Protein backbone atom coordinates (compact mmCIF):
# COMPACT_ATOMS: atom_id res chain seq x y z
CA UNK A 1 0.00 0.00 0.00
CA UNK A 2 1.37 3.39 -0.91
CA UNK A 3 -0.03 6.50 0.74
CA UNK A 4 0.47 9.90 -0.86
CA UNK A 5 0.38 13.31 0.84
CA UNK A 6 -2.89 15.17 0.47
CA UNK A 7 -4.80 18.21 1.60
CA UNK A 8 -8.06 19.19 3.24
CA UNK A 9 -10.69 21.68 2.13
CA UNK A 10 -14.21 22.71 3.07
CA UNK A 11 -17.10 23.47 0.80
CA UNK A 12 -20.39 25.14 1.69
CA UNK A 13 -21.83 25.42 5.20
CA UNK A 14 -21.06 21.92 6.46
CA UNK A 15 -19.73 20.14 3.37
CA UNK A 16 -16.40 18.59 4.36
CA UNK A 17 -13.85 17.38 1.86
CA UNK A 18 -10.81 15.57 3.21
CA UNK A 19 -8.53 14.17 0.54
CA UNK A 20 -6.99 10.74 0.78
CA UNK A 21 -3.38 11.05 1.90
CA UNK A 22 -4.06 13.96 4.29
CA UNK A 23 -2.12 13.98 7.54
CA UNK A 24 -3.61 13.98 11.03
CA UNK A 25 -2.44 17.57 11.42
CA UNK A 26 -4.24 18.64 8.24
CA UNK A 27 -7.48 16.97 9.35
CA UNK A 28 -7.25 18.39 12.86
CA UNK A 29 -6.51 21.90 11.53
CA UNK A 30 -9.58 21.76 9.28
CA UNK A 31 -12.08 19.90 11.48
CA UNK A 32 -10.75 20.16 15.03
CA UNK A 33 -10.83 17.29 17.49
CA UNK A 34 -13.10 14.35 16.58
CA UNK A 35 -16.25 13.52 18.55
CA UNK A 36 -14.88 10.01 19.05
CA UNK A 37 -11.86 7.92 18.07
CA UNK A 38 -11.86 4.15 17.61
CA UNK A 39 -9.00 1.83 16.79
CA UNK A 40 -9.67 -1.60 15.26
CA UNK A 41 -8.29 -4.26 12.98
CA UNK A 42 -10.20 -4.45 9.71
CA UNK A 43 -12.30 -7.64 9.91
CA UNK A 44 -12.58 -10.32 7.27
CA UNK A 45 -15.43 -9.69 4.78
CA UNK A 46 -18.37 -9.85 4.81
CA UNK A 47 -19.27 -7.37 7.53
CA UNK A 48 -21.58 -4.38 7.74
CA UNK A 49 -21.13 -0.76 8.71
CA UNK A 50 -19.36 2.34 7.48
CA UNK A 51 -15.99 0.57 7.67
CA UNK A 52 -17.09 -1.79 4.88
CA UNK A 53 -15.86 0.83 2.38
CA UNK A 54 -12.29 0.03 3.48
CA UNK A 55 -12.30 -3.62 2.48
CA UNK A 56 -11.04 -3.00 -1.08
CA UNK A 57 -8.37 -0.52 0.11
CA UNK A 58 -6.48 -2.44 2.77
CA UNK A 59 -6.15 -6.11 3.71
CA UNK A 60 -8.11 -7.67 6.57
CA UNK A 61 -6.26 -7.44 9.86
CA UNK A 62 -4.80 -4.00 9.10
CA UNK A 63 -4.88 -1.67 12.09
CA UNK A 64 -7.14 1.33 11.42
CA UNK A 65 -7.89 4.47 13.40
CA UNK A 66 -11.35 5.97 12.89
CA UNK A 67 -12.17 9.62 13.68
CA UNK A 68 -15.84 10.59 13.77
CA UNK A 69 -17.20 14.15 13.56
CA UNK A 70 -20.81 15.33 14.04
CA UNK A 71 -22.11 17.19 10.97
CA UNK A 72 -25.72 18.21 11.51
CA UNK A 73 -27.83 15.05 11.23
CA UNK A 74 -24.85 13.04 9.96
CA UNK A 75 -21.52 11.70 11.08
CA UNK A 76 -18.37 12.26 9.04
CA UNK A 77 -15.85 9.43 9.28
CA UNK A 78 -12.13 9.78 8.62
CA UNK A 79 -10.07 6.57 8.51
CA UNK A 80 -6.30 6.47 8.94
CA UNK A 81 -3.93 3.58 8.32
CA UNK A 82 -0.25 3.28 7.62
CA UNK A 83 2.17 1.06 5.87
CA UNK A 84 3.58 -1.76 7.95
CA UNK A 85 5.93 -0.52 10.63
CA UNK A 86 5.05 3.17 10.33
CA UNK A 87 4.47 5.15 13.50
CA UNK A 88 0.84 6.26 13.95
CA UNK A 89 1.79 9.92 13.62
CA UNK A 90 2.87 9.11 10.03
CA UNK A 91 -0.44 7.45 9.07
CA UNK A 92 -2.48 9.10 6.33
CA UNK A 93 -6.18 9.29 5.48
CA UNK A 94 -7.16 6.25 3.43
CA UNK A 95 -10.88 7.03 3.08
CA UNK A 96 -13.74 9.17 4.38
CA UNK A 97 -17.48 8.67 4.57
CA UNK A 98 -20.62 10.52 5.61
CA UNK A 99 -23.56 8.65 7.11
CA UNK A 100 -26.83 9.48 8.92
CA UNK A 101 -26.52 9.50 12.72
CA UNK A 102 -27.95 6.31 14.17
CA UNK A 103 -28.08 4.47 10.85
CA UNK A 104 -28.54 0.74 11.26
CA UNK A 105 -26.25 -1.47 9.19
All structural domains of the chain, each given as residue ranges with its CATH number in brackets, are 8-100 (3.30.1450)
What is the SS3 assignment for 1? coil
Classify residue 66 as left (phi > 0), alpha (psi -120 to 50) or beta: beta
Q: Please tell me the predicted confidence (pLDDT) of residue 105.
A: 58
Q: What is the pTM of this model?
A: 0.81
Q: Please tell me the predicted confidence (pLDDT) of residue 46.
A: 75
Residues of the chain with pLDDT under 70: 1-15, 104-105
Q: Please tell me the predicted confidence (pLDDT) of residue 15.
A: 53
Q: Please tell me the predicted confidence (pLDDT) of residue 86.
A: 82
Answer whether 79's CB lies under 8 Å from 64's CB: yes
Amino acid sequence: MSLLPGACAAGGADEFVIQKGSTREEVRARLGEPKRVLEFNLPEAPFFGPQESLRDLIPPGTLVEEWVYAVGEEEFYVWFAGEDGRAKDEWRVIETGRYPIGAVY
